[in-house]
Amino acid sequence: MQSLEAGKGKNLLYRRLLASLPDTSPVQELAFTSFYKAFPKADVPKLPALLPEVWFHWDPQTVSQRGKAALLRSRMDFLLLLPAGKRVVIEIDGQHHYATDDGRASPKRYSEMMSADRALRLAGYEVFRFGGHELAQPNGEVILMQFYQSLFKKYAIIDSSAPE
C-alpha cells in the first residue's frame, strides 16, 4: 500500500513540476521530460530532482526600487542539487537572450547574460546553456538525454561504465 501511495506522490510531483514550466517554451518542457527518459525508470527515484523555474534570489524591495528588469537574470530554467554540495544550473536560451524584440543581435543582452553567468559561477554554481534552436531540432531529446547521462557520470551519480 505504501509503495502505491509513494508512486502516486511522485507522479503528482512530476506533474506539478511540469506544469510550472512556461507554456511558451516547448524546449524547456523537452528538457524536463528528457531528464526522466534518460535513465531507467527504477533509477529515477534515486536521482537528484530536476527543479524547474527556480529563483536565485527574489527580493520584492529590489523590484520596487529598480523595476522588474532588476531580476531578469535571477531565474534559473532548471536547478540540480547534486551530492557534495554541487549545484548545477541548466539554461535553455531562446532568442530573447541575445537579440532585441525585433530579432536583431544585441551585444548588450548577450553581455548581460554572460555577466549573470559569471555571478552564478562565483556563487558556486556550474552553468550549462543550450540554445533553444539546438533543442528544437529532431535530435533535441537525444542531445539532452546524453547530456544528463554524461553529467551524472561526471559526478559519479550513475555508473560510469554504463552504456549511454
Total residue count of the chain as it appears in this document: 164
Q: How many CA atoms lie within 13 A of 151 on its CB side?
A: 24
Domain presence at residue 164:
no
Model confidence pLDDT, tens digit, residues 110-148: 888 888 888 888 888 999 999 888 999 999 999 999 999
Domain presence at residue 58:
yes
**CA neighbor of 128 nearest in space, from 100, 150, 157, 103:** 150
Domain count, the chain: 1
Q: Is the pLDDT of residue 42 over 70?
A: yes
Enumerate the β-bridge partners of residue 86: none
pTM for this entry: 0.80
Domain presence at residue 160:
no
Confidence of residue 108 (pLDDT cuts 50, 70, 90): confident
Domain presence at residue 131:
yes
Contact, 105 vs 98, CB < 8 A?
yes
Query: Domain range for residue 112?
Result: 2-154
Q: In this predicted structure, which of 17-21, 28-32, 71-75, 76-80 has the lowest mean pLDDT? A: 71-75
**Cell numbers of 47, please?**
536521482
